[in-house]
Amino acid sequence: MTMQPASTEIASRTAAIVQELKDLEGPLLPILHGIQEEFGHVPHDALPVIADGLNLSRAEVHGVVTFYHDFRAKPAGRHVLKLCQAEACQSMGSDAVAAKIKQLLGIGFHETTRDGSVTLEPVYCLGLCACSPSAMLDGEVIGRLDDEKIEEIVAEVRS
Amino acid sequence: MIPRIYIPGDSGALALGAEKVAKTIAKELAERGIEAKIVRNGSRGAYFLEPMVEVATAEGRVAYGPVKPSDVKSLFDSGFLKGGHHKRWLGAPDKIPFLAKQTRLTFARCGINDPLSLDAYKSLGGLKGLQNAVAMAPLDIVKQVTESGLRGRGGAGFPTGIKWKTVLDTAGDRKYIVCNADEGDSATFADRMIMEGDPFVLIEGMAIAGIATGATKGFVYIRSEYPHAVATMNRAVQVARKAGVLGTNVLGSPNAFDMEIRVGAGAYVCGEETSLLNSLEGKRGVVRAKPPLPAIQGLFGKPTVINNVISLASVPIIMDKGAAFYKDYGMGRSRGTIPIQIAGNVKHGGLFEAAFGMTLGEIVDEIGGGTATGRPVKAVQVGGPLGAYFPRALFDTPFDYEAFAAKDGLIGHAGITVFDDTADMLKQARFAMEFCAIESCGKCTPCRIGSTRGVETIDRLAAGIEPEKNLALVTDLCNTMKFGSLCALGGFTPYPVMSSITHFPEDFKPAPARVAAE
């Protein structure tokens, strides 16, 4: 497990990101993406620093962070597995794929395995709708999931 | 001449193993001591043949697919670098029936070359539209786009030229072109394909829009689920800037236009234009009430053109070949071509660009080849999660904005999902409500509360609790959502729900009866 950085360190690294991006038009989303890339999540201690840098209230920043599915309040597992659960994948059995993976990993959606190896999330469309059912593992796309590919994925996230 | 091997870098092809194929081919080349150039092209969109590897021969391109890493050795043994025969041999790519039957205007170049080669783009007619545009008066560009009959390809079908005219006529110290690349609808991947396979056509379209309306800055808002499209667009913008396609003097003209790529954060509702504008401004992606129209008060309160990727990517050919050329394709008030995305449980899935007017049946049965599972087609959802489910009985509906509206459906962003006879339409109706509940921005009550009550009511239906009463309740709720919601999320969720109830009533019978009927 990665150590949680101290709040002063979060503040200084956040301030650097804010400084770098604050002159963009509409800088908040690029800043939040930058922070999530830096820490793997958007730490609570980063919010006042962003608010201060952009002359917003903490409530406004909190409101934006919590609106979007992408921004995490806590770190994810070492791997992030997203399973498409939208209609095109449903038509090719994504329900059964999800059930099997949940059973193999012993977790449900929005959960992380106890050993911190993997976080499982639903995603509503990866644009791979002619290659359903599809998934994304740590940013890599996988199409036409079958038992063999499911086993490979599970083996990879457990290694 | 050293042989050239084309292996797609498109995410759809990557999802089917194109990267492993590329690595295996590179390794095999090294082991055999053969010198060849591997080009990573986009996809032509025939996903049932991906990864589709092409080689350039003296007689033209020869395609092979779907290629697996285990095929590579035998491909070399069969002399595939010279087009030799092999079990994966497909012949000339443009003769493959799925591709030969298409009318490729917007996707003319997609998947043929390295998407980041501006020279390759120009060699296939790229930048001609922009060259014409820089020599024209803004009003004449707007007129040409209006006359072409181009309508918003994001789903709303609003005439693009009229939107541009409003922005041109509105005074502003700064104006914006915003490209909506938040392609969240299931079954759609046209935006992704063009951004990954022919990014310059979008950049060219946006530059033309800027010159036509007096906007000097553009944003492409791409969903975060498309990391490859984001990467390709970012690199293409840099190439275009270096070549003077973007910058203070577009193609050497006095017109300034530059653009930035922005990434969404996983909110489906940000595909709605006003919500997208709020998101770009760094706010919660909450829908804005209209008026004011974005064309008058859009991004940062300035006059803004907000168009879908495909609308903007269709502009260069209109400015190159003329309004009449484009308008000549299509039917009724739906002019030009539409990239139909055939998805889900279908044998030949992929992108099929054609003039408006093909029937749904032709698309599903003839082009798509029926279901992948080989079972009968039960339902086809047209237009993404907010589109209606059509039964076979409506397969004679032509692909046209008005024809689909007349059958209580919509073509949306032209994605179609095929379901076989194992589909449970009550479950699909419930999902439509559930999805709306997950993705609602929360601004208006019919959408925010209605979707949750919808899930609960459908659950009661499924459990056989007061079926008649609950069916009437769902119908009434859909009516409220349709007419009382601010945007298409709450307003169109009734389409999949009501079409399921209307066309597949047997799936909504109380549970005991459903069991007995099986």
Cβ density class B418-441: b for 16+ within 10 Å, e for less: bbbeebebbebbbbbbbbbbebbb
CATH assignment at residue B32? 3.40.30.10
Q: Are residues A53 and A96 in the same domain?
A: no
Last residue of a domain, one of A39, A67, A95: A67
Rounded to whole angstroms, how far apart are CA atoms B363 and B340? Answer: 9
Check which CATH number belongs to the domain holding B308 and give it.
3.40.50.11540
Q: Does A87 share its domain with A149?
A: yes
What's the predicted TM-score (pTM) here?
A: 0.97
Contact (CB<8Å) B282/A92: no
Chain B residues with CB inside 8 Å of A71's CB? 265
One domain for residues B51 and B136: no
**Domain extent for B335:** 330-420
Cβ contact B186–A71 (<8 Å): no
Nearest-Cα distance to chain B for A5, in Å, is 24
Q: Tell me the nearest-neighbour CA distance from B30 into chain A, angstroms.
A: 26
Q: What is the pLDDT of residue A2?
A: 52
Taking 50 as the threshold, does the pLDDT of residue A1 lie above it? Answer: no
Q: Tokens 């956040």 sit at which residue?
A: A14
Residue B21 included in any domain: yes
Closest CB to A143 among B16, B187, B431: B16
A5 falls in which pLDDT band (50, 70, 90)? confident
The answer to whether A143 contacts chain B (CB < 8 Å) is: yes
Question: Among residues A67, A97, A113, which one ends one of the domains?
Answer: A67
Residues A100 and A47 in one domain: no
**Has residue A73 been placed in a domain?**
no
Based on the domain organization, do B210 and B253 belong to the same domain? yes
DSSP string covering B73-98: HHHHHTTGGGT---TTEEESGGGSHH
How much is the CA Rg of chain B, to the nearest whole Å? 24
Are A67 and B300 inside 8 Å of each other by CB? no
Any chain B CB within 8 A of the CB of A25?
A: yes
For testing contact with chain A, the best of B44, B417, B418 (most A CBs within 10 A): B417
Q: Are residues B249 and B389 in the same domain?
A: no
Residue B344 lies in a domain: yes
The answer to whether residue B307 sits within a structural domain is yes
Q: Are B314 and B339 found together in one domain? A: no
> In angstroms, what separates the C-alpha of B254 from chain A's closest C-alpha?
24
A47 touches chain B (CB under 8 A): no
Tell me how close the Cα of A43 comes to any Cα of chain B, in angstroms. Answer: 16
Task: Report residue B6: phi and psi, to 5°.
Answer: -105, 120
Confidence category of residue A42, pLDDT binned at 50, 70, 90: very high
Whether B113 is covered by a domain: the verdict is no
A85 with A154, same domain?
A: yes
Does residue B227 sit in the same domain as residue B244?
yes
Residues 6+ apart with CB under 8 A from B301: none
In a domain, A2, yes or no: no
Looking at the DSSP bridge assignments, the partners of residue A135 are A83, A142
Instruction: Assess if residue A12 is contained within a domain.
Output: yes
Domain shared by A48 and A107, yes or no:
no
Same domain, residue pair B408 and B468: no
Q: What is the pLDDT of residue A136?
A: 98
Is residue B478 one of the residues assigned to a domain? yes
Q: B134: buried, middle or exposed (CB in 10 Å: 19+, 13-18, 0-12)?
A: middle
The answer to whether residue B111 sits within a structural domain is: no
Q: How far is A104 from chain B (nearest CA, A)?
A: 22
Known binder of ligand: residue A89? yes
> Same structural domain for residues B486 and B360?
no
CA A60 to mean position of chain CA atoms: 22
CATH number of the domain that residue B491 is part of:
1.20.1440.230
Q: Kindly give the confidence (pLDDT) of every residue in chain B, 518 residues in length, as a single tens digit, with 9 standing for 90 and above.
A: 799 999 999 999 999 999 999 999 999 999 999 999 999 999 999 999 999 999 999 999 999 999 999 999 999 999 999 999 999 999 999 999 999 999 999 999 999 999 999 999 999 999 999 999 999 999 999 999 999 999 999 988 999 999 999 999 999 999 999 999 999 999 999 999 999 999 999 999 999 999 999 999 999 999 999 999 999 999 999 999 999 999 999 999 999 999 999 999 999 999 999 999 999 999 999 999 999 999 999 999 999 999 999 999 999 999 999 999 999 999 999 999 999 999 999 999 999 999 999 999 999 999 999 999 999 999 999 999 999 999 999 999 999 999 999 999 999 999 999 999 999 999 999 999 999 999 999 999 999 999 999 999 999 999 999 999 999 999 999 999 999 999 999 999 999 999 999 999 999 987 555 554 44
Asked whether residue A40 is domain-assigned, the answer is: yes
Identify whether residues A51 and A95 lie together within a single domain. no
What DSSP string runs through B155-171?
TT--BHHHHHHHHHHS-
Task: Mark whether A29 and A87 lie in a shared domain.
Answer: no
CA pair distance A118, B216, nearest whole angstrom: 44
B73 in the same domain as B15: yes
For chain B, the first-to-last Cα distance in angstroms comes to 65
Say yes or no: B125 and B247 in one domain. yes
Residue % of chain A over a pLDDT of 90 = 94
Q: Based on the structure, what is the number of domains in chain B?
A: 4
Instruction: State the Cα–Cα distance between residues B44 and B53, nearest whole angstrom.
Output: 11
CATH number, domain at B376? Answer: 3.10.20.600
* Mean per-residue pLDDT over chain A, rounded: 96
Q: Residues B299, B281: contact at Cβ < 8 Å?
A: yes
What CATH number does residue A142 fall under?
Answer: 3.40.30.10
- Give the residue from chain A lying closest to B346, CA to CA: A130
Helices within chain A (DSSP H only)? 7-21, 28-39, 47-54, 58-67, 87-90, 94-105, 147-158
Contact A70 B50 (CB under 8 A): no
The answer to whether position B455 is within a domain reads yes
pLDDT at A83 over 90: yes
Give dist(CA A137, CA B193) in Å, integer. Answer: 20
Residue A60 and residue A87 in one domain: no
Residues A63 and A84 reside in one and the same domain: no
Q: Touching check for A42 and chain B: CB below 8 Å?
A: no
- Is residue A78 scored above 60 in pLDDT? yes
Please tell me whether residues B391 and B244 are part of one structural domain.
no
Q: Does A115 contact B at CB distance below 8 Å?
A: no
**Residue B108 resides in a domain:** no
A129 is in an annotated binding site: yes
Spatial separation of the C-alpha atoms in residues B253 and B272, rounded to whole Å: 34
Please indicate, yes or no, whether residues A83 and A57 belong to a single structural domain of this protein.
no
Domain count, chain A: 2
CA–CA distance from B302 to each of B181, B205, B218 (Å)? 20, 20, 12
User: Does a structural domain hold residue A139?
Assistant: yes
Same domain, B158 and B246: yes
Nearest CB to B350: which of A130, A141, A144?
A130
Pair (A54, A118) in one structural domain: no
Q: Which residue of B has its CA nearest to A125?
A: B186
Residue A141 belongs to domain spanning: 79-158
Query: Which chain B residues have a beta carbon less than 8 Å from that of A130?
Result: 12, 47-48, 189, 341-343, 346, 349-351
Q: Which residue of A has its CA nearest to B377?
A: A91
* A97/A148 same-domain check: yes
- B466 and B478 part of one domain: yes
**Nearest CB partner across the interface for A125, out of B50, B184, B438:** B184
Q: How confident is the model at residue A3 (pLDDT cuts 50, 70, 90)?
A: low
Flag if A87 and B428 touch (Cβ within 8 Å).
yes
Whether A112 is in a domain gets the answer yes
Domain boundary among B327, B360, B376: B327
